[in-house]
Amino acid sequence: MRPDRKNTSLLIAALLISGLLAFGCNQTVQPASAGESQSTAGDASMDYEAKAKEELTPEQYNVCFLKGTEPPGSGEYDKHFEPGAYHCVVCDQQLFESETKYDSGSGWPAFYDSVDSDAVATEDDYSLGMHRIEVMCANCGSHLGHVFPDGPEPTGQRYCINSLALVFKPAAPSDKEPDTAAEADPADQD
């Protein structure tokens, strides 16, 4: 039986779109410790998921709980480089600092390290026919993105994170600005 040309074209288009969505976060990597489960997230995720379904946008829910991916270059924080911290959109746990953020050219926010080793959890991900390391919030279990071993020094890691899974909190203003009233010369006052 001869394949239907229209169905073949649709299949090819679907495969191409899937490949484009995974572009930038599609490299095969090995876990940091072979054979060792690194995930500490998940148990709390059931508590957060019900609340998040009501509070998050459909796009945020798709990324955080259905493990979706925002299109490359579409995220609010891809080209964002203000001083501050990036928190989980679901539970507000601090995950990354702006000092570790860099432009990887992948189309997603990239960090070379998390704020500390307990902030994120990782787990093997075999979806899309490849092996990757998924990154999740260690507190609530929400999906953040993936980590790859092609980042800059000092860690060599690239945490490829969806903007939809993050909330940015600017750094507090510096307390080093002088108090002009306190520095006024008392002789100048009447």
pLDDT at 94 over 90: yes
Catalytic residues: 160
Per-residue pLDDT tens digits for 75-90? 999 999 999 999 999 9
pLDDT, position 45:
57
Per-residue pLDDT tens digits for 16-28? 444 434 444 433 3
Average pLDDT score, the chain: 79
Per-residue pLDDT tens digits for 123-148? 999 999 999 999 999 999 999 999 99
If you compute the radius of gyration of the chain from its CA atoms, what whole number of angstroms results?
Answer: 21
Q: How far apart are CA 108 and CA 93, in angstroms?
A: 20
Q: Name the pTM for this structure.
A: 0.70
pLDDT at 3 over 70: no
pLDDT, position 148:
98
Pick from 85, 60, 78, 80: nearest CA to 24: 78
Rounded to 5 degrees, what angle do the CA atoms 140, 135, 111 make?
115
Pick from 39, 36, 27, 34: nearest CA to 123: 39
User: Phi, psi at residue 122, to the nearest 5°?
Assistant: -125, 155
DSSP 79-95: T---SEEEEETTT--EE
- Token pair, residue 178, equals 């002088």
Q: 131, exposed or middle or buried, with CB in 10 Å at 0-12, 13-18, 19+?
A: middle
pLDDT, position 29:
30
DSSP 33: S
Instruction: Choose between 33 and 60: higher pLDDT.
Output: 60
pLDDT cut 70: percent of the chain above it: 67
In the CATH scheme, what is the code of domain 23-169? 2.170.150.20
pLDDT, position 152:
97
